[in-house]
A and B are shown apart, each in its own frame.
Chain A
Amino acid sequence: MTDDAENALLVAMKGVTKRFTGVVANEDVDFDVRPGEVHALLGENGAGKSTLMNILYGLYHPDEGTITIRGVAKNFSSPRDAIAAGIGMVHQHFMLIPSQKVWENMILGLDDIPAILPRNEIVRRITDLSEQYGLRVDPMANVWQLSIGEQQRVAILQMLFRKANILILDEPTAVLTPQEAERLFKTISQMTSEGHGVVFISHKLDEVMRITDRVTILRKGHVAGRVDTKSTSREQLAEMMMGERVPFSISKPAIEPGNRVLEAERITVLGDRGFPAVNRLTLDIREHEILGLAGVAGNGQQELCEALSGLRKLESGNVVLDGAAISGLAPRTFIDRGIRYIPADRKGTGLVPNMNVEENSILKKYWSHPVARGYLIDWKHVFEFARSLVSRYSVSTPSLYTPVRNLSGGNLQKLMLGRELSDSPRVVIAMHPTWGLDVSATRFVREQLLEERKNGAAVLLVSEDLDELLALSDRLAVICKGELMGIIGDPSAVTLETIGLMMAGTPVESIANNTGGLEQCG
């Protein structure tokens, strides 16, 4: 490549190597971003994508290799330097301050902010950016009260607020609906049309094929391939990612569902902000059945899951398990009766990051025999249990004494899944169980859910991935603004368009008549 061509690049990383204690995260990786392109970074969990991007963002210093931004060699010592160079990153786990308001988060880490914060000015800019890029969010809301999807919008806005012209998006669509994703894609194309560069990290091959210009595939810390999107295919990308062909389809044997296990009877639940998040919602889940729940992020899914697992108080209505009302009982009772919840927020809710694999494995059973013997915990038994869990659910961890904060997303999920599913639950409530997982981990999680279905559990699957919902669900419920838009008895018989309409707020019964007046949800 000539010097001119090199100078024209927004980003050029050459020969980047990064080792952590005993692990090579990146080895001799070259990566570049051209002006006006979307460059996808593809790879399984632990392939080194996040490490590479954290290096570009100044969070890590490479052991070897160089970074050049617009032809100028850079040596970032902190994200502050990277931001100054125009690089913005939206992480999978958003770097936001939950206790602060949206507008306060915008100015996080900025230098040239007056001592008295110009709140109105900031709010106005947020509103402008929100409208320009279709990232709707209330600047005055507290971040901790926002859903994961809304928090992501804040994180993206934060980078746009800093006028980043090289934007790194780590799994950006994982929490978005098709409609929202469409809007994000428009945002991205608007950025690229202005000459900005976007690094797009994703596992969704369809999206990569659709919106990117080039794809770099990482495998085990090395570059496994770099192709122009135009001249490749999903299958080829998947193959380069995994090094072997993994079939995409999943076999779901037909099973006749049994009795009703879990029922919600006209339940109303308040969200953190004190407004009803779930509104007089009624549904039931039967034995041997997966009930899918589709909906735009932040439309009451989390509150519903928490209410069904006993973690959130009902305002009205009833939760019924095997014909007996259980609403109002202690969360512990829900667990003891076999209701298992796999929350979306793995590190924040599902696991204790600073505790080790062994200690995390018993979070849902430390009080019952044989883990507990009277008041004592039988750590010998726990060790055996954790060891079998790790091998059965193929959790890859250096040891049982490793704090789980050091595990990758896929392994965190496998550990949590194993813990929740290990003693044949009656009900499994899984929220975004494959969020941010690579292809093989995703496949594993789905198989486990189907296995529970086979064993007779009633499964509620909340997902943003419509393909996943359609492939796994026996029936599909659609939620919008906390209300049920309807339950589709045979998901394979309806079009994606119908589901999209329901997610946008049209009840299923009015779709047949094709009444207009759609109201956008989310």
Chain B
Amino acid sequence: MESRKQMSQDITLEYPIKGMDFVSAGEASSNIKHTLQLIGFSPAIIRRAAIAAYEAEMNIVIHGSGGVLKTVITPEKIELTAEDSGPGIPDIDLAMQEGYSTAPDHIREMGFGAGMGLPNIRNCSDEFVIDSQVGKGTIVKAVIYRT
């Protein structure tokens, strides 16, 4: 509660994410997690936000050929927006099914592409919106409330 009082203004973090860069992938989510720890969010809320951010970041790395991961932190909520300029998703309902993945074998060899990313972001969030246009890209927005 004390840290909530100390947070006098909203914090916006914005990270450009490179496509197919598996070495620095995760750095943005790590910074987001660290910032939430400094502000004083509870470990359970931080974990949900960190997982959602990391899944969204990895989606940009794997599918998106680059994009931006933006986080707006207010005293009440954490708002994550992942925007990429990738191929887009033709069938969003299918992409939201656990286990469905279009990731090729070389991505699975890196430990990703289990078809759990988008469903996991939704499970970690209080609000979840996805918008995608084939040939243009995808925007995923996830909101996690403090209480």
Q: Do A and B bind each other?
A: no
A binding-site residues for B, Cβ under 8 Å: none
